[in-house]
Amino acid sequence: MKPIPTNFTKLLGIDVPIIGAPMFLVSNVDIVTEVSNCGGIGTFPALNYRPIEAYKKALVDMRARTKKPIGVNIIVNKSNSRQAEDLKYALDAGVNLFITSLGNPSTVIVEGHKIGAKIICDVTNLDHAKKVQDLGADGVIAVGYGAGGHAGPISPIVLIPWLKRELKIPVIAAGGVTDGPTMAAMLALGADGVSVGTRFIASKEAQVENGYKNAIVTSSPEDIVLTTRISGTPANVIRTPYIDKVGTDLPWAIGALKNNKLAKKYVTPLIHLFGMRALDQAANKPTWKTVWSAGQGVGLIDDVLSCREIMETLVNGYFETIEQMP
C-alpha cells in the first residue's frame, strides 16, 4: 500500500496512519496482526483475553505473526483490577503502543517510555487532553460524537481542529471513519491519524456471532443510541429490543451515587464491571440481553470484508478522494 506520512506514522514507524481500534471482545490476534502487517497498527484491549494466561499467550502469538508494531489498550481506573499485570506482560512482550482509557495514565506513561513504547490516551475534551499531555503522553485519541463504544459529546468537525490548535502532540481522530472519504476528511481537519473500530467488526477475522456482524451491515446511523446504562459512561450501541426495554439512562439511585463525590470511586468500577459482562454475553452468544457496541459509521458499511480488504479500501479511497478534490 502507498504510504501516507504523518506525525503519527513517524512516531511509530508505520506506513499508514490507521489504528485498528481496540474493541472490547472483538479485537483478536487475527485482526491485530493483519492490520499491522498491512502498514497500520493493530491494537486490542488487554481484557479481551481472560484469564491472564490467555492474555500472555495472545501477546506471544501476535509477536510470532508480525514483526510490525502492535498496541494494547489498558483501562486505568479501579474497575480493572488486572491493570498492573496487563502492563507488565505487555512491557515484557515489547509492545510498541499503549492506549489508555478511563483513568489516570501516569504509570503506563512512565513504564512504557522506559522501553521506548509510545502512549496515547483517549480523550473527549480539551481539559483531559492537556492533562495527559502534561503527564508526558505521546498523543491523544480524540473520541468524538458518533464513535462506537465510549463516545464524547463534541462533533469531530470541531473537536479535531480544536485539539490540534491547543496541543503540541499528535491528535488521532475516532468516530465515523469507515472508508477513504471519511479518513480524508479527518486528516483534512488536521488529524495525524484515524482510529477505526466499527468497520472491523464487519470483518472476516472478527470472531463475533453473525447477528452482530449482520447488525453492523444492516443498521443506519439512526439505529445508534447513546447510553449510560451499560457502563455509566456515555457509550454508543445499536438499538435492540433489550436497549428499548432497559432504557438509556442509569437508574436514578445509581446515577445519584455515581455523582456523589464520596461514593463515586466505589460505584463507578462496579457499573463498569456489570457493563462488561453484558457486552461479553451479547458479543459471543445470542441472548435477550443483546448489547452491541457500534458507532454511527454503520450507515456506510454494506458488507463483510477481510481486514486486508478494509485497509486497502481505506488507503485507496483516501488517495482517490484527495485526487478528486478541487
B/e letters for 17-29, b = 16+ CB within 10 Å, e = fewer, are bbbbbbbbbbbbb
pLDDT at residue 41 tops 90: yes
Question: What is the per-residue pLDDT for 228?
Answer: 74
User: For residue 2, is it within any domain?
Assistant: no
Please give the single-letter amino acid code of residue 283.
Answer: A
User: For a pLDDT cut of 70, what percent of the chain falls above it?
Assistant: 85
Chain position carrying cell 473500530:
197
User: Are residues 128 and 72 both part of a single domain?
Assistant: yes
User: Are residues 146 and 228 both part of a single domain?
Assistant: no
Other beta carbons within 10 angstroms of residue 178's beta carbon come to 25
User: For residue 95, is it within any domain?
Assistant: yes
Residue pair 16/40 in contact by the 8 Å Cβ criterion = yes
User: Are residues 180 and 240 both part of a single domain?
Assistant: no
Tell me the per-residue pLDDT of 216-267, one tens digit each, with 9 for 90 and over.
Answer: 999 999 999 988 766 556 789 998 887 877 665 544 344 443 455 554 454 4
Question: Mean pLDDT score of the chain, rounded to an integer?
Answer: 88
User: Are residues 200 and 288 both part of a single domain?
Assistant: no
User: Are residues 44 and 153 both part of a single domain?
Assistant: yes
Question: What is the per-residue pLDDT for 284?
Answer: 45
| Radius of gyration, CA atoms only, the chain | 18
User: For residue 70, is it within any domain?
Assistant: yes
User: Are residues 308 and 240 both part of a single domain?
Assistant: no
User: Are residues 131 and 244 both part of a single domain?
Assistant: no
Total structural domains within the chain: 2
Tell me the per-residue pLDDT of 71-120, one tens digit each, with 9 for 90 and over.
Answer: 999 999 877 889 999 999 999 999 999 999 888 999 999 999 999 999 99
Residue 101 belongs to domain with CATH number: 3.20.20.70
Q: Which domain holds residue 254?
A: 214-296
How far apart (Å, rounded) are the C-alpha atoms in residues 48 and 235?
18
Three-state DSSP string of the chain: CCCCCCHHHHHHCCCCCEEECCCCCCCCHHHHHHHHHCCCEEEEEHHHCCCHHHHHHHHHHHHHHCCCCEEEEEECCCCCCCHHHHHHHHHHCCCCEEEEECCCCHHHHHHHHHCCCEEEEEECCHHHHHHHHHHCCCEEEEECCCCCEECCCCCHHHHHHHHHHHCCCCEEEECCCCCHHHHHHHHHCCCCEEEECHHHHCECCCCCCHHHHHHHHHCCHHHEEEECCCCCCCEEEECCHHHHHHCCCCCHHHHHHHHCCCCHHHHHHHHHHHHHHHHHHHHHCCCCCCCCECCHHHHHCCCCECHHHHHHHHHHHHHHHHHHCC
pTM comes to 0.88
User: For residue 263, is it within any domain?
Assistant: yes
From the centroid of its chain, how far is CA 271?
Answer: 20
User: Are residues 88 and 202 both part of a single domain?
Assistant: yes
User: Are residues 28 and 109 both part of a single domain?
Assistant: yes
Tell me the per-residue pLDDT of 160-194, one tens digit each, with 9 for 90 and over.
Answer: 999 999 999 999 999 999 999 999 999 999 999 99
- All three cell numbers of 190, joined, read 488536521
- All three cell numbers of 302, joined, read 454494506
User: Are residues 191 and 150 both part of a single domain?
Assistant: yes
Mean pLDDT within 276-298: 63
User: Are residues 200 and 219 both part of a single domain?
Assistant: no
Question: What is the per-residue pLDDT for 269?
Answer: 53
User: For residue 192, is it within any domain?
Assistant: yes
User: For residue 91, is it within any domain?
Assistant: yes
User: For residue 43, is it within any domain?
Assistant: yes
User: For residue 255, is it within any domain?
Assistant: yes
User: Are residues 73 and 175 both part of a single domain?
Assistant: yes
Tell me the per-residue pLDDT of 15-36, one tens digit each, with 9 for 90 and over.
Answer: 999 999 999 889 999 999 999 9
